[in-house]
Copies of this chain bind each other. A is one copy, B any other.
Amino acid sequence: MARTTSLSGFPEWLPEERIVEQHVLDELRRTFELHGFSSIETRAVETVEQLLRKGEIDKEVYGVSRLHQDEDEKTPREGALALHFDLTVPFARYVVENNGYLTFPFRRYQIQKVWRGERPQEGRAREFTQADIDVVGDGTLAFRYDVELALVMIEALSRLPIPPFVLRVNNRKLAEGFYRGIGLDDAPAVLREIDKLEKIGREAVIANLQANVGASAEQAASALDLASIRTEDTSFVEQVRALGVSNELLEEGLSELADVVGEAARRAPGKVNADLSIARGLDYYTGTVYETVLVGHEQLGSVCSGGRYESLASTGKKNFPGVGLSIGVTRLVTRILSQNMARPSRAVPSAVLVALNDDASWSAAQDVAGQLRARGIATEVAASPQKFGKQIRYAERRGIPFVWFSTVQEDGSVTHGVKDIRSGEQVTADPTAWQPPREDVHPTVQASETA
């Protein structure tokens, strides 16, 4: 399946690969709906103004304008349009615009493509699908949702044909409180340096903290000590306390993170880590932050990230806090396909090909097909009455497991038979009653042995 697409960074799947992607999307949708999340979609474009409000990603944004617009429309201006680069900014706008029509706390999922003009590489495409869940409150939002959303995503990811994963959780209040407790007041600046830990290593980060944030060697070492704490349970609390820093915000963060990790560890042991090095780039997170790595594929980057924001959106009068997570569907599916982690049981939806005896039997064959479809069995009819061997080979090539034959007897009655072309076994069958084995009704997606 190794193909190159004609436009770098814009992946397209073959039909059998699309079955894998569709399976992933179906499982996500099913999980989100089981947890009471409503589906919404937002338009692909936002105003440039709206998109750039949060800051420094303008280089990655694709502007959109009519090819033959007037000359004075040519430069980006207030009201100019661009493709959305995530689903959070559009969702925030949607909540503000429709808040009079929504019931809060509003639970929504949103599965759509987004676009970023970045340099393509594996795990980073220019067009890709994200699957987001968020809960948004009107004025306030219980902390409990920070716990719940982690559990929903653990359940969703557990249903996918992917390697074991770990959801790493941290808390901005914990980090910020700790930094303040040791005398470093510019928490975002510290976080930006800590965020590079996995890439550049401890010593380089310490040097950067001293050079860029004005930390002393001791402060820098202390910040790094915090970032080195990782536990699978709530024992991180003791480890932090052992660092001897005291601060009110730190306590609040410790308590929140212990709630998330404690509940998740109880319900999904081994799936969650408290990881005090997690920073997440985006500025709007204010409490819990999440990211998720596939074990053995850490260099792929996070496949599910998010956090709590005290102000996802606001109107003049109202503030809407929220908590949300986003799965990088294309990143996951690309990895599943490139490493053969899963494959579909067949390449097409069809379970049955109805063979043609002669040209005149096409309409009767459509009747048989209709009877099978009425019971949910995907069926095609051969287009021309080639020799049966050729019709069977067509089914084989397409991956259709069953071929249906109808024969008009001398007395004018019709007998039907269906052949499993994998085993060669043929049985007589009634088009109004025959059922394929359960596993053959639809293509299924199985994790490969090697995954």
Residues of A bordering B, CB below 8 Å: 3, 5-7, 10-15, 18-19, 22, 33-45, 47-48, 58-69, 76, 81-83, 93-94, 97-98, 101-103, 105, 107-108, 113, 115, 117, 127, 142, 144-145, 148, 151, 263, 266-267, 347-350, 362-363, 366, 373, 376-381, 383-384, 397-398, 400
Q: How far is the CA of A47 from the CA of B10 in the complex (A)?
A: 12
Contact of A39 among B22, B151, B377 (CB under 8 A): B22
Are B36 and A349 touching (Cβ within 8 A)?
yes
In the bound complex, what is the Cα–Cα distance between A115 and B115 (angstroms)?
15
Query: Which 9 residue pairs across A and B have the least CB separation, nearest first?
Result: A36-B350, A36-B380, A15-B38, A66-B117, A10-B43, A33-B349, A142-B383, A59-B68, A34-B373
Please, which residues of chain B bring their CB within 8 A of the CB of A66? 59-63, 117
**Chain B residues with Cβ under 8 A from A97's Cβ?**
5-6
**In the complex, which residues of chain B have a beta carbon less than 8 angstroms from the beta carbon of A33?**
349, 378
Evaluate contact between B43 and A127: CB separation under 8 angstroms: yes
B62 touches A68 (CB 8 A): no
A82: nearest residue on chain B (CB-CB)? B67
> How many angstroms between the C-alpha atoms of A62 and B73 in the bound complex?
13
Interface centre among A36, A40, A113, A384 (most CB of B within 10 A): A36
Number of copies: 2
Contact B62 A102 (CB under 8 A): no
List B contacts of A47 (CB < 8 A): 7
Complex CA gap A108/B16 in Å reads: 12
Cβ-defined partner of A64 (8 Å) among B62, B68, B105, B381:
B62
> Shortest distance in angstroms between A16's beta carbon and chain B's nearest beta carbon?
8
CB pair B18–A41 under 8 Å, yes or no, is yes
Q: How far is the CA of A6 from the CA of B62 in the complex (A)?
A: 20
Contact residue among B45, B67, B145, B266 (Cβ-Cβ distance under 8 Å from A76)? B67
- Tell me if B263 and A383 are in contact (CB < 8 A): no
Q: A36-B350, A39-B18 are in contact. Are A115 and B44 (CB under 8 A)?
A: yes
A36 partner residues in chain B, CB cutoff 8 A:
348-350, 378-380, 400
Among the listed B62, B378, B381, which residue makes an inter-chain contact with A67, where contact means beta carbons less than 8 Å apart?
Answer: B62
* Distance A252 CA – B108 CA, assembled complex (angstroms): 54
The answer to whether A263 and B38 have CB atoms under 8 Å apart is no
Overall SS of chain A's interface: mixed
**Besides A12-B42, A59-B67, A60-B66, 5 new A-B residue pairs in contact (Cβ under 8 A), listed by A number:** A10-B45, A58-B67, A61-B66, A62-B65, A142-B384
A116 to chain B, nearest CB (A): 9
CB-CB under 8 A for A63 and B61, given A36-B380, A127-B45, A349-B36 = no
A7 touches B43 (CB 8 A): yes
Bound-state CA distance A331–B169 (Å) is 44
In the assembly, what is the distance between CA of A36 and CA of B64, in Å?
36
| CB closest residue in chain B, given A106 | B15
Closest residue to A60 on the B side, CB-wise?
A: B66
Known: A64-B63, A64-B64, A107-B380. A94 touches B348 (CB 8 A): no
Closest to A267 in B: B366
Assembled-state Cα–Cα distance A378/B29 (Å): 12
Residues of chain B within 8 A of A3, CB atoms compared: 98, 101
> Which single member of B58, B381, B383, B397 contacts A68 (CB below 8 Å)?
B58
Q: Is the CB of B41 within 8 A of A349?
A: no
User: Bound complex: CA of A326 vs CA of B3, how far in Å?
Assistant: 28
Neighbouring B residues of A263 by C-beta, 8 Å: 363
Closest B residue to A34 using CB positions:
B373
Q: In chain B, what residue has the closest Cβ to A6?
A: B97
